[in-house]
Amino acid sequence: MYSPSDIAKTSACQSTETFQEVVRHKLRCLREEQFKSAWDVTDVRPLQLSPLRSIMINTYQTSLAPPPVPPRSRSQPVLIPASLPSQGHNKVLVRFLVGVVALHLLLSLAGFFYLYYHEHMEKHFSAEDRDGLPSSQKQEMDKQDTFYKALARMAVKRAEGKKTPGCLQWDTMHSVLRGINYYEQIWLTIPETGFYYVYSRVTFSKGDSTIPLASKVKLRKNEADESEDVMKAYCYLESTKNPHMCTAAQGDLILLEKGNQLSLWVQDLSLVDYEEGATSFGIYKL
């Protein structure tokens, strides 16, 4: 037989166990709702905390499954995926570029040496070097050299009735000009520096007892400079009435600079013979 105190203790224990089971059941339901609302992306409601959050729960004794691991953030996919070049591919590209640069430098050096050698040979190719060549080849080379060199052969223009000293004017229609510029009908302009052979021939049809029959080649450095005599020639007529003639001819090698100008001067323009071939003036570059 149980005493009343034993019965009371038994009832208290049963009611305590019943209360604990109820609490456990409530906590289990509450935790399920919390996990559901926490991992449901469609639920935008704020998380409601339980009033029993201060109660310690032993997770080792619960039958609930652990919450799933949240997915990691992934980078956005590339529209056109491209694989990175391998290390071997980079080496091939570098070798190709180095080869191109080396080839470019080699071609540049070859071109430089070719131009230098060609110019050096032209400067040292003298007349002595041509002695061993056939005569036909030497003539052909001389023709080519003469064709490209500057020259001028001027025909005189008539200036009758002028009993004054002055420079002869030239008829460009019957003259030969190649590489030589013509200035103010009397001056010939030198195109490049070098040695030039300058010649003149002036025929006088009359004499003068008071002045000499002279012709002079005048040179000036440029258009604004004063002229000077570089060549002179004379001839003599015994009578001023008889139709006798004399020719003052001259020729010389002169070093001229680019821009120099030459002209032919006579003491009296009225004493000059203006017939074709009687009076002329010319230069050509050696």
Q: Is 33 helix (H, G, I), strand (E, B) or coil?
A: helix
Cα 197 to the center of its chain, rounded Å = 40
Q: In whole angstroms, give the CA distance from residue 214 to residue 216.
A: 7
Cα 3 to the center of its chain, rounded Å = 122
CA distances, 238 to each of 241, 244, 247, 264 (Å): 9, 8, 13, 24
Q: In whole angstroms, give the CA distance from residue 235 to residue 207.
A: 9
Q: Is 90 helix (H, G, I), strand (E, B) or coil?
A: helix
Q: In whole angstroms, give the CA distance from residue 63 to residue 61.
A: 7
Phi, psi of 145 (to 5 degrees): -65, -40
Q: Is 92 helix (H, G, I), strand (E, B) or coil?
A: helix
Contacts of 275 (CB under 8 A, 6+ apart): 203
Contacts of 26 (CB under 8 A, 6+ apart): 52
- Secondary-structure class of domain 147-285 per CATH: mainly beta
CA R_g for the chain: 59
What does DSSP say about strands 213-220 and 166-167: parallel, antiparallel, or unpaired? unpaired
Q: What is the pLDDT of residue 83?
A: 62
CA distances, 163 to each of 35, 38, 158, 195 (Å): 133, 128, 13, 35
- Which residue matches tokens 């032993």? 58
Contacts of 189 (CB under 8 A, 6+ apart): 180, 181, 182, 183, 259, 260, 261
CA distances, 6 to each of 3, 13, 15, 19 (Å): 5, 11, 14, 20
Taking a C-beta distance cutoff of 8 angstroms, is the pair 37, 43 a contact? Answer: yes
Q: What is the pLDDT of residue 224?
A: 86
Q: What is the pLDDT of residue 54?
A: 45
Q: What is the pLDDT of residue 53?
A: 46
In this structure, the number of other CB atoms found within 10 A of the CB of residue 194 comes to 14
In terms of pTM, does the model score above 0.85? Answer: no
Q: What is the pLDDT of residue 82?
A: 57
Q: What is the pLDDT of residue 251?
A: 94
Q: What is the pLDDT of residue 277?
A: 86
Q: What is the pLDDT of residue 118?
A: 74
Q: What is the pLDDT of residue 49?
A: 47
Q: In whole angstroms, give the CA distance from residue 193 to residue 221.
A: 12
Q: In whole angstroms, give the CA distance from residue 167 to residue 184.
A: 11
Q: Where are the domains of the chain?
A: 10-61, 147-285
Each residue's pLDDT expressed in tens, for the chain with a length of 286 residues: 545 555 445 554 555 567 677 777 777 877 777 656 554 545 545 545 444 444 455 555 556 666 777 776 555 555 555 565 566 668 888 888 999 999 999 999 998 888 887 777 766 655 555 555 566 666 665 555 656 788 999 999 987 767 888 999 999 888 999 888 888 889 999 999 999 999 999 998 887 777 788 999 999 998 888 999 999 999 888 765 666 788 999 999 999 999 999 999 998 888 888 888 899 999 999 8
Q: What is the pLDDT of residue 268?
A: 87
